[in-house]
Structure 1
Amino acid sequence: MSRAEQPSRRSVLTAAVVAAVAGGSAPVSAADTSADAEDPVQTLAPTVDNRAWTAYADWGGGTAQGTRAVAGARPGVVIDAPAGTVEYTDPHTGTTATWEYATWTSPVHRLSVPATEAIASWNAHTPDGTWLQVELQGTYTDATDTPWYVMGRWAAGDQDIKRTSVDDQSDGKSSIWTDTCAIDDPSTGLRLASYRLRLTLYRKPGTTSTPTVWRLGAMGSDVPDRFTVPASTPGLARELIVPPYSQEIHRGQYPEYDNGGEAWCSPTSSQMIIEYWGGRLTPEQLAWVDPSYTDPQVCHAARFTYDHQYEGCGNWPFNAAYAATFQGLQGVVTRLGSLADLETLIAAGIPALTSQSFLSGELTGAGYGTAGHLMTVVGFTADGDVIANDPASPGNEAVRHVYKRREWENIWLRTKRHNADGEVVSGTGGVCYLYFPAHPSPGQLTALAEVGVR
């Protein structure tokens, strides 16, 4: 995301929420004593629901049209006998091609937290000549249904189609903002009560190639409007050794992938955690990168997370899907509730990639303000302060930062803030990417379950 304190492309994700707050129409939550006052809030009830389909039994359920479940160490779903053919015109190249397709539709998942937002994520292998589409259909609390919303058209590579989100999807009650399905006016009380996901797998006609999808799910959330969040009590002193990479050394590189520098915080942070888990790119994979560029793997991450509609590398599910292209890794997008959740993960050896926005004076030692920025949390000091690999640093040697716990927790978890002009704008509400082994250890499984991820 952009470091600059200006409206980012993602700032529209919660524009409806912010408009309601600014207009005074948002309800006052029990956890927020004033819709516009920056007062401390009470401990929140659960605000996030995660559901993922990963097991062989999962893929054997749902509704299959031309797909079949496959067993093994990492169960998944593949094309069996195509359900038909379809023409797809790539909006970013103008090329029209015919594709065989097959679909798998999940059972309905009833949200334990009726949601104002839902974000899908997936982990898959798409060999050359294949790609996939993920759609979501929700049912509102008024018992009506959303359309089938496209949450992403994705391939690990970029030779067959251009990886893309889809704009201009709305039914007057909810809309798609890049990678997020959001209720247009949460102040009405309308929520998503349930959803199902539809996966469409594509391949070139006459071939036997197929995508393999190992994980498909979504995170639904209803995070109350808040300028401040409860302060958590420090409970861990530990630091994970995560490679430090600077996005700033890539400034001006590859304009076709948003020009490096401040635009590459998400892929730079993703690459840090991928390499922490042992993910490595081969010289052959990196051969396309200008050999004069330092850390070519960051350039690679930018290219292969790039969303051609969003025109940037900050599509959250695309980053998680990129991480899962590395053998033995999986990735999800979720929201967490406090720094205690991050401590639980760090204690189990799992770093986290977090999204936050702030003014230059709100995070001591950062030296910048941002409308949306990703960094990697790698540990906590004995005093409970946050140790973060912040890619918004002039060089790799400067990436490690220690940020004050209270400041950092608030800028990450709040949903409302004031920008430099004093206007009420949105915060990210605890958005987090988690990358972890395809086969976590018992301790890692416990930690992930404690933060709502399975």
Structure 2
Amino acid sequence: MPTTRRTVLSAAIGTVAGAGVLTAAPAGARPAARPPRNPLVDNRFWTSYGDWRRGTADGVRALPGPRPALLIGRPAGRTEYTDPHTGRTTAWEYATWTSPVHRTRTAATEIIASWNASTPPGTWLQAELSGDYADGGRTPWFVMGRWASGDGDIRRASLDGQGDGRASVWTDTLAVDDPAGGTRLVAYRLRLTLHRRPGTRLTPVVRRAGAMASDIPDRFTVPATVPSLLGPGRELTVPRYSQNVHIGRYPEYDNGGEAWCSPTSSQMIVEYWGHRPSAADLAWVDPGYSDPQVCHAARATYDHQYEGCGNWAFNAAYAATHPGMNAVVTRLGSLTDAERLVRAGIPLITSQSFREEELTGAGYGTAGHLMTVTGFTPGGDVIAGDPAAPGNEAVRRVYRRREWENIWLRTKRYAADGRTVSGTGGVCYLYWPEEATALQRRALKSLGIR
């Protein structure tokens, strides 16, 4: 992993629309929501019928209904794609949707895209971002992922080596190269290209797409928060899975379970919401293996370019392949935000890095690790589902509040050898159902997520 990367990856639809701008949503739309509590983070996700209609369409159509979506209408054309991970060249029909320009509330140093879609066999999608600099310049279109839920048509992958001399893509993150020099991104566009096999009526179905933009200041420590004043802590009943029971299994997916913290955490939360892979999904897994759904999650999140299962956007996309699920990658500003989510019944997945002595009771240090946050004690300490446990029975951990919030929210830290290395600055995955409660929707809205 490049040491210049500032955020740490886990180690581990209506009438067919032709080209042009889709007509705007009718008058009477809801007024703008109150700005979320964290001014350093801007979330914008397109998900409503009006959202899809406001974008620029070339061969896509917007589908109204209870859960609006974007899909291929009349393809814009054909293209050939040579998959660098298989060597196969295949012809595809394609259609594109480009978002309106989104001007961020904060001038950003990083932008992380995420999307929710289904891609039946014979289909896939590509997500791209282009940002506007504060001085009026503009980035080229950067590929943020070539994605399918399966791996039979293309190999799911990020794209290395993208940059314009001012910003670069590090797997799942578009990052300014020199934040200290003042370079900032103040707006962006998202482009989705939907692909299908020529001559078919197949289509990807996109239900949510957008990005989180942020400008988290470089910091080795963060201000301490006090436990919520809303009453005693709450613990959610979340399944507990250890990545370590899978060590040695399917080493073609990032060396097996040793590095599966991200998909293991994702699987815990997916199952909390009542979803499990089908018997057909698991048919490829050795029947002698315990918890085969964790193996399935690892394969379904594996990034063939990064050669790991820790691509943040790919984990969110995996979670959202389950019926009725939403998922985003974002940043939170404090453990108070996390408490608000847990009290509403929404667990979260956080990314952090630390030396062993920085997190009492962990028993290990890590350059990047994902865990679930499933609750808080009455005193405000964090109840975590830590997949680095030796077995499922030891996954539940209680970590000291002050230690946890610092290793999660900081952007700089000292490695064991004294070097200054990066921290994640509060990155987390949030997964929740379409049929969320009013309390859950309010908690998400407070973070700028709808």
After TM superposition, the score normalised by the length of structure 1 is: 0.91
1:50 aligns with 2:32: no
1:373 aligns with 2:369: yes
Q: What SS does the corresponding residue of 2:284 show, helix, strand or coil?
A: coil
- Kindly indicate whether the alpha-carbon contact (under 8 Å) linking 2:217 and 2:411 is maintained by their aligned counterparts in 1: yes
Q: How far apart in 1 are the matches of 2:202 and 2:68?
A: 17
- Kindly indicate whether the alpha-carbon contact (under 8 Å) linking 2:38 and 2:332 is maintained by their aligned counterparts in 1: no
Q: How far apart in 2 are the matches of 1:86 and 1:353?
A: 38
RMSD: 1.2
Q: Report the counterpart of residue 104 of structure 2 in structure 1.
A: 111
Change in Cα spacing, 1:45 to 1:56, as seen in structure 2 (3 Å) is closer
Q: Residue by residue, what CA displacement relative to the aligned partner does 1:331-355 show, whole Å, maximum 9, x if unpaired?
A: 0000000000000000000000000
Q: Report the counterpart of residue 232 of structure 1 in structure 2.
A: 225
Q: How far apart in 2 are the matches of 1:452 and 1:366?
A: 32
Q: What SS does the corresponding residue of 1:317 show, helix, strand or coil?
A: helix
Q: Report the counterpart of residue 413 of structure 1 in structure 2.
A: 409
Q: How far apart in 1 are the matches of 2:79 and 2:380?
A: 55
Q: What SS does the corresponding residue of 2:252 show, helix, strand or coil?
A: helix
1:274 aligns with 2:270: yes
1:262 Cα deviation from its structure 2 partner: 2.7
- Kindly indicate whether the alpha-carbon contact (under 8 Å) linking 2:240 and 2:396 is maintained by their aligned counterparts in 1: yes
Q: Report the counterpart of residue 55 of structure 2 in structure 1.
A: 62
Q: Report the counterpart of residue 321 of structure 2 in structure 1.
A: 325
Q: Report the counterpart of residue 256 of structure 1 in structure 2.
A: 252
Q: How far apart in 1 are the matches of 2:408 and 2:141?
A: 31
Structure 2: any 5+ residue segments left out of the alignment? 9-36
Q: Report the counterpart of residue 13 of structure 1 in structure 2.
A: 5
1:282 Cα deviation from its structure 2 partner: 1.3
Q: What SS does the corresponding residue of 2:364 show, helix, strand or coil?
A: coil
Q: Report the counterpart of residue 95 of structure 1 in structure 2.
A: 88
Q: What SS does the corresponding residue of 1:245 show, helix, strand or coil?
A: coil
Q: How far apart in 1 are the matches of 2:307 and 2:203?
A: 28
Among candidates 162, 177, 185, match of residue 155 of structure 2:
162
Q: How far apart in 1 are the matches of 2:435 and 2:414?
A: 42
Q: What SS does the corresponding residue of 2:5 show, helix, strand or coil?
A: helix
Q: Residue by residue, what CA displacement relative to the aligned partner does 1:407-443 show, whole Å, maximum 9, x if unpaired?
A: 0010000000000011111000000000001232111
Q: Report the counterpart of residue 440 of structure 2 in structure 1.
A: 444
Q: What SS does the corresponding residue of 2:260 show, helix, strand or coil?
A: helix
- Kindly indicate whether the alpha-carbon contact (under 8 Å) linking 1:134 and 1:153 is maintained by their aligned counterparts in 2: yes
Structure 1 runs (4+) deviating above 3 angstroms are none
1:277 Cα deviation from its structure 2 partner: 0.2
1:15 Cα deviation from its structure 2 partner: 8.0
How many aligned residue pairs are there?
Answer: 419
Q: Residue by residue, what CA displacement relative to the aligned partner does 1:40-68 show, whole Å, maximum 9, x if unpaired?
A: xxxx9621000000000111111000001
Q: What SS does the corresponding residue of 1:267 show, helix, strand or coil?
A: helix
1:10 Cα deviation from its structure 2 partner: 6.9
1:428 aligns with 2:424: yes
- Kindly indicate whether the alpha-carbon contact (under 8 Å) linking 1:10 and 1:372 is maintained by their aligned counterparts in 2: no
Q: What SS does the corresponding residue of 1:46 show, helix, strand or coil?
A: coil
Q: Residue by residue, what CA displacement relative to the aligned partner does 1:360-404 show, whole Å, maximum 9, x if unpaired?
A: 100000000000000000000011100000000000000000000
- Kindly indicate whether the alpha-carbon contact (under 8 Å) linking 1:12 and 1:177 is maintained by their aligned counterparts in 2: no
Q: Report the counterpart of residue 305 of structure 1 in structure 2.
A: 301
Among candidates 198, 220, 245, match of residue 241 of structure 2:
245
Q: What SS does the corresponding residue of 1:271 show, helix, strand or coil?
A: helix
Q: Residue by residue, what CA displacement relative to the aligned partner does 1:221-259 show, whole Å, maximum 9, x if unpaired?
A: 000011110111101500000000000000011111112
Q: How far apart in 2 are the matches of 1:258 and 1:11?
A: 20
Change in Cα spacing, 1:237 to 1:11, as seen in structure 2 (3 Å) is farther
1:13 Cα deviation from its structure 2 partner: 2.3
Change in Cα spacing, 1:225 to 1:450, as seen in structure 2 (3 Å) is same
Q: Which amino acid aligns with 2:146?
A: R
Q: What SS does the corresponding residue of 1:194 show, helix, strand or coil?
A: strand
Q: How far apart in 1 are the matches of 2:101 and 2:107?
A: 14
Q: Report the counterpart of residue 19 of structure 2 in structure 1.
A: none
- Kindly indicate whether the alpha-carbon contact (under 8 Å) linking 2:331 and 2:427 is maintained by their aligned counterparts in 1: yes
Q: Residue by residue, what CA displacement relative to the aligned partner does 1:100-159 show, whole Å, maximum 9, x if unpaired?
A: 000000000000011000000000010110000000000000100001000000001100
1:285 Cα deviation from its structure 2 partner: 1.1
Q: How far apart in 2 are the matches of 1:209 and 1:391?
A: 37
Q: Report the counterpart of residue 141 of structure 1 in structure 2.
A: 134
Change in Cα spacing, 1:444 to 1:233, as seen in structure 2 (3 Å) is same
1:451 Cα deviation from its structure 2 partner: 2.1
Q: What SS does the corresponding residue of 2:81 show, helix, strand or coil?
A: strand
Q: Report the counterpart of residue 28 of structure 1 in structure 2.
A: none
- Kindly indicate whether the alpha-carbon contact (under 8 Å) linking 2:7 and 2:424 is maintained by their aligned counterparts in 1: no
- Kindly indicate whether the alpha-carbon contact (under 8 Å) linking 1:11 and 1:371 is maintained by their aligned counterparts in 2: no
Q: How far apart in 1 are the matches of 2:5 and 2:67?
A: 34
- Kindly indicate whether the alpha-carbon contact (under 8 Å) linking 1:47 and 1:222 is maintained by their aligned counterparts in 2: yes
1:217 aligns with 2:210: yes
Q: Report the counterpart of residue 28 of structure 2 in structure 1.
A: none
